[in-house]
Amino acid sequence: MNTNDPAVSVVVPVRNEAGNVAPLVAEIGKALEGHWPFEVVYVNDGSTDGTEAELKRLMALHPWLRRVRHKQSCGQSCAVRSGVAASRGAMVATIDGDGQNDPAFIPLMLRALEAGAPRVGLIAGQRVGRKSGGFKKLQSRIANGVRGAELRDGTRDTGCGLKAFRRDVFLSLPYFDGLHRFLPALVKREGYDIGYVDVVDRPRGSGVSNYGLWDRLWVGILDLAGVWWLIRRKKRVPEIVED
């Protein structure tokens, strides 16, 4: 990274979200302009609709907008990691691409991350006033209850896409499919504190969700077992002194 790099990168994973791209890009730009030098990195995770064309159109209008593309869909965790790896900012914020997360909360979360440095490694959004349907809320409640009981990471809502973290901390985490659901537990595993910000949930802008019951619950149980193992296998980092 050099002195011309942005201070903040906003990573937005998307798959088949053509109708939500332009409104969200405009909101992110409005939220961040005048605060930090920033960039917005969209990760097109194998979209088959007009998402790619819409991103190309908007990139011609906004010099701070970038995009990376997966030729085939690889999932949200992979898309987030690709975006963070491509980012140039030392601080990274993530946000879902469906319009349900409000970008107005990103500056608040980034300031909390700055204020908590160096001990705080992650600021996690926690949704209030969920706009999802009753069955989807039930799925999230069950998944978060099981995860919280096993990992005891103090997080009531790991499914919120709004998060802010140090780029180097994220890239140091062990990667696996499903990583984005366990960031608080994994960041705590590395010895960092976690901060929380209540954020307002909104209805989806357009289109339909890419995730169903299998993605949210049963696959998550397998990931939970892996994270539980990782946490218990973590060795204390020795304090090395040379006299």
Question: What CATH architecture does domain 8-232 belong to?
Answer: Alpha-Beta Complex (3.90)
What pLDDT digit, counting tens, does each position of 14-44 carry? 999 999 999 999 999 999 999 999 999 999 9
Of 169, 40, 43, the residue nearest 93 (C-alpha): 40
Length of the chain: 243
pTM, two decimals, is 0.81
Which of 211, 228, 219, 194 lies closest to 96, judged by CA? 211
Predicted confidence (pLDDT) per residue in 177-226, tens digit: 877 888 888 899 889 999 999 999 898 877 666 655 455 555 566 666 65
Sheet containing 38-45: give its strands across.
65-70, 38-45, 8-14, 91-94, 163-166, 120-128, 193-200
Domain ranges in the chain?
8-232
Cβ atoms 157, 115 nearer than 8 A: no
Q: Is 122 helix (H, G, I), strand (E, B) or coil?
A: strand
